[in-house]
Amino acid sequence: MNLTLTLSLASSALFLLLVLVVAGFLMFLRRCFGRPGAPRPRPKQDDAADVECGKPVISTSKIADESAARRYVWAEVEAMTAGFTTEVVGEGGSSTVYLGRLPDSRAVGVKVQRSSERLRRAFLQELDVLLHLRHPNIVSLVGYCADRDEGVLVFDYVPNGTLFDNLQSDKRTPLTWAQRMRIAYGVASAVAHLHGGSGGALQIVHGDLTSSNVLLDGDLKPYLCDLGSALVGFSAAVGPSRFLLLGSPGYADPLLLRTGVVSKKTDIYSFGVLLLELITGTPAFVEEPADRSHSLLTAAVGPVVRDAEGNREKVRGILDRRLEEFDEGELTAVAAVAGRCIGDRPAMRPSMEEILGIMRDSIASVDGGSDGKGGC
């Protein structure tokens, strides 16, 4: 076979391979996103249902019920923060929260989102979700500003910092066992509301449930915040750009990390980690810069709480040593719930409504107030 024929055959084979690769890629895009203008199927109303390349069900192009909060102009935002020179009460990778004052001297938290296309979508998502929500354990939206790329959300100010701060700061009085249980119950009530409990019309997955996203007021009443990662629907598989907004180290469901599949059971896993924080007083994730290592709370105490009834003595051994008084029966019950929440099989994890029922039945300091069945 001469050189010319060999090169001709090789070129043909390479061209055919290129055509097959392009065709396969186009088929993948069509499977994920459909034809332009074609309707996309909604997720099935089943917590275990998955939607390949799914998107949030909620629309970010049209804000829901704007009457639920006031729309501010940028000049009003500058006035309430004195030109963004007031105290910074919270800061993360995507936003800064300033202590603001309304004209009537009411204190507010002013959350200013950093500017980027991805964060703009997160801002609109959080705004749309918050406009749907009213719950005593979810931060109350006062207003917003969408005039610029830096979206602004204005909340009622919650003065006592985050749950993480209250658990980890040496400058704060350690939370008692009863206080921790009331906080856990309030957070569970808020998440149950998001998930559609008590006849809620929406099915919302928070997506980033952590102790840093729980605020406490002067009476240590908890308020769930930061819904920028929220997804509306029953379950979905998220693409890479959306995946970056979901979960925090130590709290993220391993199934989410492996597959990108998000469901209500993703929040249940994170709530289990939060319960472990309340029990142990230990952060969910600890990074050691010196040797670039890290430790996970679930890895340290997961084997103990997965069989809390059979490991009562070991459960006592993981309890926060700052707790001078606690109820052993309550400790065992809560540890058992945490163990079920962080189980490897999402289908076997309890629903948030079931968790609320267990807590009402097992914990004396909880009387069911924040979910409408008593007083919290």
Instruction: Give per-residue pLDDT as tens, 30-41.
Output: 444 444 333 333
Q: How much is the average pLDDT of 282-308?
A: 82
Q: Which two tokens stand for residue 202?
A: 């929406």
Structural contact between residues 337 and 272, judged by C-beta atoms closer than 8 angstroms: yes
Those residues whose C-beta lies under 8 Å from the C-beta of residue 365, and which sit 6 or more positions away, are: 177, 178, 181, 182
Going by DSSP bridges, is the β-strand pair 141-145/70-71 parallel, antiparallel, or unpaired? parallel
Structural contact between residues 129 and 64, judged by C-beta atoms closer than 8 angstroms: no
Q: What is the DSSP secondary structure assignment for residue 162, as one 8-state letter?
A: B
Those residues whose C-beta lies under 8 Å from the C-beta of residue 312, and which sit 6 or more positions away, are: 328, 332
Structural contact between residues 138 and 193, judged by C-beta atoms closer than 8 angstroms: yes
Among candidate residues 136, 328, 152, 269, the one with its CA nearest the CA of residue 215:
136
**How many Å apart are CA 132 and CA 155, to the nearest integer?**
15
Active site amino acids: 208
Q: What is the DSSP secondary structure assignment for residue 179, as one 8-state letter?
A: H
Q: What is the pLDDT of residue 266?
A: 93
Q: Which residues pair with 215 in a beta bridge?
A: 162, 223
Lowest mean pLDDT among 31-40, 227-236, 238-247, 258-267: 31-40
Q: Which two tokens stand for residue 244?
A: 């970056």
Q: How much is the average pLDDT of 279-307?
A: 83
Structural contact between residues 98 and 110, judged by C-beta atoms closer than 8 angstroms: yes
- Other beta carbons within 10 Å of 57: 17
| Lookup result for tokens 């070991």 | 314
pLDDT tens figures, 202-215: 689 999 999 999 99
Q: Which domains does the chain have, with CATH numbers?
A: 66-156 (3.30.200.20), 163-371 (1.10.510.10)
In angstroms, how far is CA 325 from the centroid of its own chain? 31
Q: What is the pLDDT of residue 231?
A: 83
Q: Which residues pair with 100 in a beta bridge?
A: 108
Among candidate residues 131, 121, 140, 123, the one with its CA nearest the CA of residue 202:
131
Among candidate residues 58, 62, 33, 352, the one with its CA nearest the CA of residue 233:
58
Flag whether pLDDT at 333 surpasses 70: yes
DSSP string, 223-277: EE---TT-EESSEEEPPHHHHTTS--TTTS-HHHHHH-EEEHHHHHHHHHHHHHH
3-state secondary structure (DSSP) of residue 279: helix
Q: Which two tokens stand for residue 338?
A: 């945490």
Q: What is the band of 288 on the pLDDT scale with cuts at 50, 70, 90? A: low
Global pTM value: 0.79
Q: What is the band of 247 on the pLDDT scale with cuts at 50, 70, 90? A: confident
Q: What is the band of 146 on the pLDDT scale with cuts at 50, 70, 90? A: very high
Higher local confidence (pLDDT), 53 or 74? 74
**How many Å apart are CA 177 and CA 322, to the nearest integer?**
10
Those residues whose C-beta lies under 8 Å from the C-beta of residue 19, and which sit 6 or more positions away, are: none
Among candidate residues 282, 279, 283, the one with its CA nearest the CA of residue 332:
279
Q: What is the pLDDT of residue 182?
A: 98
Flag whether pLDDT at 315 surpasses 80: yes
Flag whether pLDDT at 197 surpasses 70: no
Q: What is the band of 217 on the pLDDT scale with cuts at 50, 70, 90? A: very high
3-state secondary structure (DSSP) of residue 337: helix
Structural contact between residues 283 and 250, judged by C-beta atoms closer than 8 angstroms: yes
Structural contact between residues 357 and 371, judged by C-beta atoms closer than 8 angstroms: no
Among candidate residues 40, 120, 358, the one with its CA nearest the CA of residue 368:
358
Structural contact between residues 202 and 196, judged by C-beta atoms closer than 8 angstroms: yes
Structural contact between residues 208 and 151, judged by C-beta atoms closer than 8 angstroms: no
Residue-averaged pLDDT of the chain: 80
**How far is the first Cα of the chain from the last one, in angstroms, to the nearest whole number?**
87
Lowest mean pLDDT among 16-25, 26-35, 90-99: 26-35
Q: How much is the average pLDDT of 79-96?
A: 93
DSSP string, 76-89: HHHHHTTTTTS-EE
Q: Which two tokens stand for residue 184?
A: 């856990």
Q: What is the pLDDT of residue 257?
A: 83
Give CA angle at 160 (372, 136), nearest 5°. 15
Q: What is the pLDDT of residue 339?
A: 97
Q: What is the pLDDT of residue 93?
A: 77
